[in-house]
Chains A and B, each alone.
Chain A
Amino acid sequence: MYRLSRTIWGLAACCGVLVSGPAPAADLTVTAFGGVWEKSLRTCYIEPFQKQTGKTVDVVLGTPAQWVNQIAANPQKPPIDVILNLVDGAEDAKARGLVDKIDPARIPNLADVPAPFKQVVEGYAVAMHFGAAGLAYNEAKIKNPPKTWVEFIDRTLKGEWQAALPGINVASTAPAALIWNFNDVLGGKPADITPAIAKVKALRDSGNVVFWNDVNQFLTQLQSGEADIGIYWDGRAWAARDGGFKTLNFYYPAPGGVVNPIVAQKVKNAPDLAWEFMNFVLSPGPQSCWAAAIQYPVVNARATYNPDQKARMPEWQSVRWPPFAEILANMPRWVEMWNKEIGR
Chain B
Amino acid sequence: MSETRVLRQVERRIPQALLLGYVLVFFVFLLAPIFFVVLVSFSDAAFITFPVTDFSLRWYYRLLEYTPLLASLWFSLKLAAASAILAAILGVPAALALARSTSRVADVVSTFLLAPLSIPMILLGVALLYYLSAMGLGLSFISLLIAHTVVSIPYVVRTVVAVYRSVGRDYEESAAILGASNRQIFTYITLPLIGSGIFSGMLFAILISLDNLSLSLFFGSAQTNTLPVVMLSYLQNQFDPAIAAIGSVQMAIAFVVLLMIERTVGLEYMSSPS
Interface residues of A (CB under 8 A from B): 1, 3-4, 6-7, 10-11, 14-15, 17-18, 20, 22-23, 26, 29, 32-39, 58-63, 66, 69-70, 72-74, 77, 79, 215-216, 219-220, 223, 240, 243-245
Pick the contact of A29 from B85, B141, B222, B225 — CB < 8 Å? B222
Q: State whether A245 touches B47 (Cβ < 8 A).
A: yes
Contacts of B140 in A (CB 8 A): 22
User: Is the CB–CB distance between A63 and B223 below 8 Å?
Assistant: no
Q: Give me the 5 closest cross-chain CB pairs, A-B, nearest first.
A: A34-B233, A243-B46, A58-B222, A216-B239, A73-B133
The B interface is mostly helix, strand or loop, or mixed, namely: helix
**Shortest beta-carbon distance from B84 to chain A in Å:** 9
**A10, B78: Cβ atoms under 8 Å?**
no
* Assembly CA distance A74 to B137 (angstroms): 10
With known contacts A34-B230, A39-B66, A223–B49 Cβ distance under 8 A: yes
Closest to B224 in A: A22
B131-182 contacts to A (CB < 8 Å): 133-134, 138-141
Q: Which residues of A contact B81 (CB under 8 A)?
A: 14, 18
Q: Hey, which chain B residues are within 8 Å of A70, CB to CB?
A: 129, 139, 218, 221
Given A18-B81, A35-B234, A77-B138, residue A62 in contact with residue B220 (CB < 8 A): yes
Binds A, one of B10-18, B25-33, B102-110, B262-270: B262-270
Q: Which of A6, A20, A60, A215 has the most CB of B within 10 A?
A: A60
Chain B's closest residue to A62 (CB) is B220
What's the Cα separation between A39 and B242 when bound, in Å?
14
Which residues of chain A are within 8 angstroms of B233 by Cβ–Cβ distance? 32-35, 38, 61-63
Bound: A268/B78 CA distance, A: 33
Q: Decide: A74 and B239 in contact? CB cutoff 8 A.
A: no
With A1-B192, A34-B237 as contacts: A66 and B85 at CB distance below 8 Å: no
Residue contact A35 to B66, C-beta cutoff 8 Å:
yes
Q: How far is the CA of A6 from the CA of B48 in the complex (A)?
A: 44
| B225/A61 in contact, CB under 8 A | yes
Cβ–Cβ < 8 Å partners of B220 in chain A: 60-62, 66
Residues in B with CB closer than 8 Å to A7 are 195, 265, 270
Residue of B nearest to A37 (CB): B237
Q: Which residues of A contact B238 (CB under 8 A)?
A: 34-36
Q: Are A18 and B68 in contact (CB under 8 A)?
A: no
Chain B hits for A60, CB < 8 A: 220-222, 225
Q: Are B195 and A4 in contact (CB under 8 A)?
A: yes
List 15 A-B pairs, Cβ < 8 Å.
Answer: A3-B266, A4-B191, A6-B264, A14-B85, A29-B221, A34-B234, A37-B237, A58-B223, A61-B230, A63-B236, A69-B129, A79-B221, A219-B239, A223-B49, A244-B47
Instruction: Give min CB distance, A31 to chain B, whole Å.
Output: 10
The CA of A293 and the CA of B140, in the complex, are separated in Å by 32
Q: Is the CB of B222 within 8 A of A22?
A: no
Q: How far is the CB of A163 from chain B (nearest CB, A)?
A: 21
Q: Which of B82, B188, B232 contacts A63 (CB 8 A)?
A: B232
- Bound: A23/B217 CA distance, A: 20
Interface status of B229 (Cβ within 8 A of chain A)? yes
Cα A73 to Cα B240 with chains together (Å) = 34
Docked CA distance A3–B129 (Å):
40
The complex places the Cα of A6 from the Cα of B188 at a distance, in Å, of: 14
The interface bits of chain B over 237-249 (1 if a CB of A lies within 8 angstroms of the residue's CB, else 0) are 1111000000000
A170 to chain B, nearest CB (A): 11
Minimal beta-carbon separation of A12 from chain B (angstroms): 10
Contact between B217 and A63 (Cβ–Cβ < 8 Å)? yes
Closest residue of B by beta carbon distance from A67: B220
A74 and B138 contacting across the interface, CB-CB below 8 Å: yes
Residues of B contacting A63 with CB < 8 Å?
Answer: 217, 232-233, 236
Q: Taking the complex as formed, is B235 at the interface, i.e. its CB lies under 8 A from any CB of chain A?
A: yes
Q: Enumerate chain A residues within 8 angstroms of B141, measured Cβ to Cβ.
A: 22
B38 at the interface (CB under 8 A from A): no
Q: How far is the CA of A54 from the CA of B233 in the complex (A)?
A: 28
**A244/B45 contact (C-beta < 8 A), A35-B234, A58-B222 known:** yes
Q: A86: shortest Cβ distance to chain B, in Å?
A: 11
Shortest CB distance B29–A (Å): 21
Q: Are B78 and A62 in contact (CB under 8 A)?
A: no
CA distance A78 to B192 in the complex (A): 48
CA distance A262 to B143 in the complex (A): 30
* B130 within 8 A of partner (CB): yes
